[in-house]
């Protein structure tokens, strides 16, 4: 975002050399600023982090998403299919939905990655 007189304005709204701004880009920038989505959402931030795999450590879905370079939701679905995944969440009770808190050890994650690589 470009700062004009102390006001944060998306770059696409600043006309350059008298040209009219692209209204699609302006609308998208405004929507991202108001909602906090786009390239700044927690799912995209989880995907961009760098993670070193250590066999004795447990990994969360956001870290698995960063390792596999997939989205957070895709990491959850993939982890449900992996061997050695532990669900530390709460069980489903009457009138209350159970929560999932998945963790996988680095050893099992490395085994999964080796099984997916081509020889």
Residues 57 and 32 in one domain: no
Name the residue among 18, 28, 52 with its Cα closest to residue 10: 28
Q: How confident is the model at residue 6 (pLDDT cuts 50, 70, 90)?
A: very low
Residues 53 and 111 in one domain: yes
Burial class (CB in 10 A: 0-12, 13-18, 19+), 60: middle
Number of domains in the chain: 2
Query: For 72-104, what is each residue's pLDDT tens digit?
Result: 889 999 999 989 898 888 888 888 888 888 999
Across 36-54, average pLDDT = 68
pTM recorded for the entire structure: 0.57
Across 29-58, average pLDDT = 73
2-4 and 7-9 strand pairing: antiparallel
Residues 12 and 69 in one domain: no
Residues 102 and 64 in one domain: yes
* Rounded Cα distance, 86 and 26, in Å: 44
Residue pair 76/104 in contact by the 8 Å Cβ criterion: no
Residues 93 and 65 in one domain: yes
Residues 108 and 85 in one domain: yes
Residues 76 and 54 in one domain: yes
**pLDDT over 80 (residue 42):** no
Domain of residue 23, residue span: 2-40
What percent of the chain clears pLDDT 70, i.e. is strictly above it?
Answer: 73
- Residue 26 pairs in a beta bridge with none
* Rounded Cα distance, 110 and 101, in Å: 20
């Amino acid at each position: 975002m470009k700062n004009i007189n102390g006001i944060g304005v998306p770059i696409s709204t600043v006309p350059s050399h008298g040209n009219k701004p692209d209204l699609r880009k302006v609308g998208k920038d405004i929507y991202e600023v108001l909602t906090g989505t786009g390239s700044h959402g927690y799912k995209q931030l989880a995907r961009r982090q760098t993670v070193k795999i250590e066999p004795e450590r447990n990994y969360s879905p956001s870290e698995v998403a960063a390792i596999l370079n997939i989205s957070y939701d895709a990491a959850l679905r993939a982890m449900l299919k992996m061997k050695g995944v532990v669900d530390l969440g709460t069980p489903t009770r009457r009138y209350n939905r159970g929560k999932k808190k998945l963790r996988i050890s680095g050893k099992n994650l490395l085994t999964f990655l080796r099984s997916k690589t081509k020889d």
